Amino acid sequence: MKEIKSTDYSIYFKNDGYSELFKFIKLKNYSKIFIHLDTNTHKLCLKVFLNQVQEFNYHSIISKAGEENKNIESCVKLWNNLSELNGDRKSLIINLGGGVVGDMGGFVASCYKRGIDFVNIPTTLLSMVDASVGGKTGIDLGVLKNQIGIFYDPKIVIIDPLYLETLDESELLSGYAEVFKHSIISSLNTFDNLISKNVSLDFKDLKTIKNSIEIKNNIILIDRKELKERKALNFGHTLGHAIESYFLNTEKKLLHGEAIAIGIILASYISNKTVGFSTEDMNKIKSHLMIFYKKITFTSLEIKGITKLLIHDKKNSHGKINFVLIKEIGRPVYDIEINNELITDSFKYYSI
């Protein structure tokens, strides 16, 4: 499958990626190679990776798994690991894992010795179609997602669905929320295709994954630093991230995609009420997502707490909470200010 060219790097698929990686490693003559994993990918994915590549010398650096560990303390541990293993400015980090591994590993690479090279090999559907592409790196600040970070591109991204065999259904569904979001902001044909398949969807289909990556990449090529068009990728994320953050350290903790699926439904309702998004498509979105994702019950106190967290969303400016909404499928609109009453009403729509 043909590579995708992004800003300053290429995205390769399956075996082409591994061969290109070794050509690149040989060309750059790295002093040391570090494979960054979390406790899950160290157990499940490292052997898959090593079976695909020729033998080479590397050091493993391992983070604790989970969004709750995507923080500065974990970064300090990784920087200490690199230093203790004599990593220098000619070292390479290979991030083998999901979004937390890629986001944090990229951030660690961007700061260590004022910047060393890194490669992303995403092992979850979510990280394949979202986190590994676009050059965003970062960590959370408490429960607030991605508050600290920098744009810093990988040298290569390798997409291999073989790693998806290590995932359970909930993790695949977490990634699908981003695939579906990409269809909403980009193309009626892609949207209708996903809607029509419903329960027959193959979450591991490489063509679907590649198409989703191309949608995101095409937006990034227009607007790398999220000044306008790239904001569309945040559709469903303003409330979705707030929901994810609010429940992060509770018994109701949600996977990223589970929270984003709710956020997409809420944003569709708000779009209907403010910018004329069609009621038919709004209901299609809700019906489709409710096939796959369990319904969550929100108390009025929880909704108030979630709404308070919106002030920390990165799209905000001058104290205003800005939403990305959808006027019609494939036509997002940006920086729309919404009142709290409409947010409350959107939760009512979700709950019925």
- Under 8 Å between Cβ of 247 and 305: no
Q: How many CB atoms lie within 10 A of CB 43?
A: 12
Task: Please give the model's pTM, rounded to 2 decimal places.
Answer: 0.94
pLDDT at 216 over 80: yes
Residue 321 has a pLDDT of 80
Residue 314 has a pLDDT of 59
Q: How many CB atoms lie within 10 A of CB 334?
A: 17
The CA-to-CA distance between both ends of the chain, in Å, stands at 43
Q: Which residue has the tokens 């990593």?
A: 87
pLDDT in tens, 282-309: 999 999 999 999 999 999 999 999 999 9
Pairing of strands 156-159, 10-13: parallel
3-class secondary-structure state, position 297: coil
pLDDT at 181 over 60: yes
Buried b (16+ CB within 10 A) or exposed e, 275-309: bebeeebbebbbebbeebbeebebeeebbebbbeb
Q: Measured between alpha carbons, how far is 135 from 255 in angstroms, rounded to an integer?
A: 22
Say which residues have a Cβ less than 8 Å from residue 327's Cβ, sequence separation at least 6.
271, 275, 276, 277, 333
3-class secondary-structure state, position 154: coil
- Name the nearest CA neighbour of 182 among 153, 217, 137, 132: 217
Residue 199 has a pLDDT of 72
Q: Which residues pair with 101 in a beta bridge?
A: none
pLDDT at 349 over 90: yes
Please report the beta strands in the chain, taking only residues with DSSP state E, as ranges in sequence order: 4-5, 10-13, 32-38, 59-63, 91-97, 117-122, 136-141, 144-151, 156-159, 322-328, 331-337
Q: Measured between alpha carbons, how far is 345 from 352 in angstroms, rounded to an integer?
A: 11
Residue 313 — pLDDT band, cuts 50, 70, 90? Answer: low
Map out the domains of the chain with their CATH numbers.
4-165 (3.40.50.1970), 168-351 (1.20.1090.10)
Q: Which residue has the tokens 């029509």?
A: 196
- Under 8 Å between Cβ of 265 and 350: yes
- Under 8 Å between Cβ of 302 and 246: yes
164-168 long-range contacts (CB < 8 A, ≥24 apart) are: 164/123, 164/124, 164/125, 164/203, 164/204, 165/204, 166/44, 166/45, 166/48, 166/123, 167/124, 167/125
pLDDT at 318 over 60: no
Q: Which residue has the tokens 């979700």?
A: 350
Computed over every residue of the chain, the mean pLDDT equals: 95
pLDDT in tens, 217-242: 999 999 999 999 999 999 999 999 99
pLDDT in tens, 52-99: 998 899 999 999 999 999 999 999 999 999 999 999 999 999 999 999
